[in-house]
Structure 1
């Protein structure tokens, strides 16, 4: 288990990161939950210049360990989560190296990131794991998220989970 005093750094994805992300998308523990790697990589490349999605690399001790993206569901037409309160941001996380999965990084990364979002004034953060991804659901619950809905959309069958700023303080 990782120590809770780890500080993660979040930096914007650059085109130079795409081969590394492609490698992560090919890892079985990531590929199981993402769509076709080429399609996903093209979307991540497009997100580099997006105003609605912020793609980030998570680093620990200056070493890239995860891909995280945040998005505003109110900035996309017909987004399935646009019913969430205004100001809500959604996040997605994938830890790249398989040896770093299942030892506490997921919940710690998410916790640090959402605390920073709350400090910026974000009222709610949502995340939408596949119902079969029990490991992710447990990690998000450990970070303070709670299930609020079960939905089927273009993203598939999801458990919509949320944490509100007043809960996260």
Structure 2
């Protein structure tokens, strides 16, 4: 990847559910993402979570979501300041992996979340997902403590401050 690329983020709609299911069925996504629970139209109405299709030059290639960390009882990030956001994402198109797109679009979305007032952005990769952890560290995330077993699985809690 050369130069500075701008990614577009548009809200996921019911028309995107088949695309998300296809991406979630990819082995590189299934390894880290719960592909047995595809998104349904009702999921898109949840006001706690903003779900995005990420595109480059009008080509959709990734999924990203950001959410309020205070939207669930006993969430592992509930101790973060009010307004903090959590993020999760995956690149759905295999040929787009390893080209720098992940760190670039995450950085772009982080900038927007910080500009919108989020004091902290948190993420929770699986502790064995070394590639994701390296990307997050590159973007300024630091571990918040040891790995945890949560209702969403085994995680390494990480956060970046504005």
Is the shorter-chain TM-score for this pair beyond 0.5, marking a shared fold? yes
- Shorter chain as denominator, the TM-score bin is over 0.9
Question: Over residues 3-58 of structure 1, what are the superposed CA-to-partner deviations in whole Å (9 max), with x where a residue is unaligned?
Answer: 35100011000111111110100000000112243x2323xx33311110111101
Distance in 2, Cα, partners of 1:160 & 1:4: 31
Question: Distance between the aligned counterparts of 2:38 and 2:45, measured in 1?
Answer: 15
Q: After TM superposition, give the deviation of residue 157 of structure 1 in Å.
A: 1.2
Deviates more, 1:109-118 or 1:75-84: 75-84
Alpha-carbon distance change, 4 to 156 in structure 1, aligned in 2, over 3 angstroms: farther
Corresponding residue for 2:19? 20
Q: Following TM superposition, by how much is the alpha carbon of 1:121 offset from its aligned partner in structure 2, in angstroms?
A: 1.0
More helix by share: 1
Instruction: Tell me the secondary structure at the aligned position of residue 130 of structure 1.
Output: coil
What TM-score, normalized to structure 1?
0.90
CA gap of 1:47–1:3, structure 2 versus 1, over 3 A, is farther
Q: For 1:3 and 1:107, locate their aligned partners in 2 and report how far apart those are by CA, in whole Å.
A: 13
- The equivalent of 1:76 in structure 2 is 72
What are the residue-to-residue correspondences of 1:12-161 with 2, within 5 Å?
Answer: 12-37=11-36, 39-42=37-40, 45-149=41-145, 150-161=147-158
* Cα 1:164/1:157, change in 2 over 3 Å: same
Residues 20, 38 of structure 2: 8 Å contact kept = no
Partner residue of 2:7? 8
Note the residue ranges of structure 1 that are not aligned, 5 or more in a row.
Answer: none
C-alpha distance after superposition, 1:71-128 (max 9, x if no partner): 1021222222211221110000100001111221111111110011111111000011
Q: What is the root-mean-square deviation of aligned Cα atoms in Å?
A: 1.3
Q: 1:46–1:78: structure 2 CA closer, same or farther, 3 Å change rule? A: farther
1:3 partner SS: coil
User: The residue matched to 1:75 in structure 2 has which SS?
Assistant: coil
- Structure 2's unaligned 5+ residue stretches are none
Partner Cα separation in structure 1 for residue 79 and residue 111 of structure 2? 23
CA distance in 1, matches of 2:105, 2:43: 21
